[in-house]
Amino acid sequence: MAGDTALLVIDVQVGMFREANPVHRGKELLETLRGLIARARAGGVLVIYVQHSGAKTSFLAEGTPGWPIHTDIAPLPGDLIIHKRTPCSFCGTGLKEALDSRAIRNLVIAGIQSEMCVDTTTRSAFNFGYGVTLVEDAHTTFDRPYLPAEMISRHHSAVLGSWFAKLKKAREVSFQ
């Protein structure tokens, strides 16, 4: 799996952990991601960070305090950072070209928000022909008026796992 695989970490940025409206299970997510990233690096697997650049008034606007990738999982030299402006990590970003130039055929996907960028990127990766593993305990979102975050994430794991991705818990993901 290692040589043709990349770990894709989507939108785990400081602004997602705001005190007023933090992402669900934020501390657990960061801990899980730290472990995945460490195992990926140890296995020689490319770690790709996707960083959302929101509108100028957004808490994820480029250059604002919320925009940087969270320091608990900060990129290292050799990691790839992809900037995006839409929910799809492939749309207008050069991600596909970067993967294809490195002969990456499999993606392990984790990050924020389950129903937006994680969902859209997972479906797009599948449609481009990549093998996709969604780490079901390494993606999350925010509570919504219509549904709690935990239910949103569980629902999207079930839907994506029924067609677009293999579901695995973080402890089951091997980068060997």
Write down the pTM of the prediction: 0.96
CB atoms within 10 A of CB 87: 18
Q: Sheet harboring 46-52: ordered strands across?
A: 80-84, 46-52, 5-10, 106-112, 131-140, 166-168
How many DSSP H helices and E strands does the chain contain?
4, 6
107's enclosing H/E stretch is: strand 106-112
Average pLDDT, rounded, for the chain = 96
The two tokens of residue 16 are 């997602």
pLDDT digits (tens, 9 = 90+) for 122-138: 999 999 999 999 999 99
Tell me the C-alpha distance between 2 and 27, whole Å: 27
Phi, psi dihedrals of residue 58, rounded to the nearest 5°? -80, 155
DSSP codes of every residue in 68-87? SBPGGG---TT-EEEEESSS
Model pLDDT, residue 1: 52
Ranges of H-type helices in 4-76: 26-42
The CATH number that applies at residue 153 is 3.40.50.850
- Structural domain of residue 57, as residue ranges? 2-172
Model pLDDT, residue 22: 87
Tell me the C-alpha distance between 51 and 54, whole Å: 10
Instruction: Tell me if 20 sits within 8 A of 97, measured CB to CB.
Output: no
Ranges of H-type helices in the chain: 26-42, 95-101, 119-127, 149-161
Tell me the C-alpha distance between 158 and 122, whole Å: 13
Instruction: Give the catalytic positions in this structure.
Output: 117
Number of structural domains in the chain: 1
pLDDT digits (tens, 9 = 90+) for 81-106: 999 999 999 999 999 999 999 999 99
